[in-house]
Structure 1
Amino acid sequence: MFSAYSPRAANAYQRINVETSMHTMDQHQLVSLLYEGVLSSIAFARGALARGDVPGKCQSITKAIRILEEGLATALDRVDGGEIAENLGALYDYCVRRLIEANARNDDAILQEVMRLIEPVAQGWNEIKKNGASTAPVPSSGQPVLMEA
């Protein structure tokens, strides 16, 4: 009648919960979560590096890179985003290159550098919402466009 705990079933429920949450969030919240994910992944990588946990370091850096490339960089509207989108794209590319280098060299200073670069952008993004500025409706390209306050 009832079966024992199944990690597979638990993962399915967790995945459904995440997918449902993503559909109910606005674009601003999604980008905030991506920034949070990058920063926490780098923090985990730094901790793993300090402990000598090479697989953990690699996994965390890989996660941060994927968030930058597949989440934040692909969300940029390079057509209507203008100079802001161009500059953020260049920043994300630079951070990806530095994370790869940090991974190869086991260099905590580079990890700190990337955190110092991403943190003010993440804080600025969060301030947009707090100060009442909004994002424009999502155009047909599916990418949010920042509106100036």
Structure 2
Amino acid sequence: MLGMKKALNAYGQTSVEMAVDVACPHRLVTMLFDGAIKAVAMARMHLEAGNVAEKGMATSKAIAIVDDGLRLSLDKNQGGELADNLDALYEYISNQLLQANLRNDVALFDEVLGLLGGLKQSWEAIDPVAQAAQAAEAPRQDSASVLSYGRA
């Protein structure tokens, strides 16, 4: 059983490494959001189960993803005020995670999950690959309607 668990963990790690190798920068940020959300959810679950050490490790992982991933990915030169605002929000999220861990506060974990979920949805809405696919699809739909209109 232990060997199977190690293999699954290795497979999961390899899958993430392969995904990172081929991902565009936009997708990498989405993966950071996914990782942070998963770590916060795990911390919350461990809090409710009374697993103090695991809660602390999951919280530390979430903070690391926010601080060393999301915050460091900001380009403050090009991002201007938006990047500054996101930086402040990421700092707030990290502080809330620290307080949630220290106080064993489920509500703070829930607040962070809501913030990260909203940020992820916003980030996905500006996905350049999805926007390009939609733009490519729009002319085909228009020409298809013109063709069907011409037949009527």
- Do these two structures clear the TM 0.5 threshold for a shared fold by scoring above it? yes
* Structure 1, unpaired ranges of 5+: 134-149
What amino acid maps onto 1:122 in structure 2?
K
Deviations 1:13-58 (A, max 9, x none): 7655543431211011110010011111111111111110101110
Question: Residue 123 of structure 1 is aligned with which of 115, 121, 128?
Answer: 121
**What's the RMSD between the two structures over aligned residues?**
2.5
1:62-77 aligned at under 5 Å gives the runs 62-77=60-75
**Alignment partner of 1:59 is 2:57:** yes
Worse-matched range after superposition: 87-96 or 18-27: 18-27
1:99 partnered with 2:114: no
Larger radius of gyration: 2
- After TM superposition, where is structure 1 displaced by more than 6 Å over at least 4 residues in a row? 7-14
The equivalent residue for 1:132 is 131
How many residues are paired up?
130
How has the CA–CA distance of structure 1 residues 78 and 102 changed in structure 2, closer, same or farther, with 3 Å as cutoff? same
- Give the TM-score, by structure 1 length: 0.76
**Matched-pair identity in %:** 39
Structure with more of its chain in helix, by fraction: 2
Tell me how far apart the structure 1 counterparts of residues 104 and 7 of structure 2 sit (CA, whole Å): 37
Q: Any gaps of 5 or more consecutive residues in structure 2? A: 133-152
Cα distance in 2, alignment partners of residues 79 and 95 from structure 1: 22
In the aligned structure 1, how far is the partner of 2:32 from the partner of 2:41?
Answer: 14
Q: Are residues 1:22 and 2:20 paired?
A: yes
Instruction: Classify the secondary structure of the residue corresponding to 1:75.
Output: coil
Shift in alpha-carbon separation, 1:13–1:42, aligned structure 2, 3 A: closer
What whole-Å deviation, never above 9, does each CA across 1:74-103 have from its counterpart, x for those lacking one? 000011111111111000000111111111
TM-score between both structures, scaled by the size of structure 2: 0.75
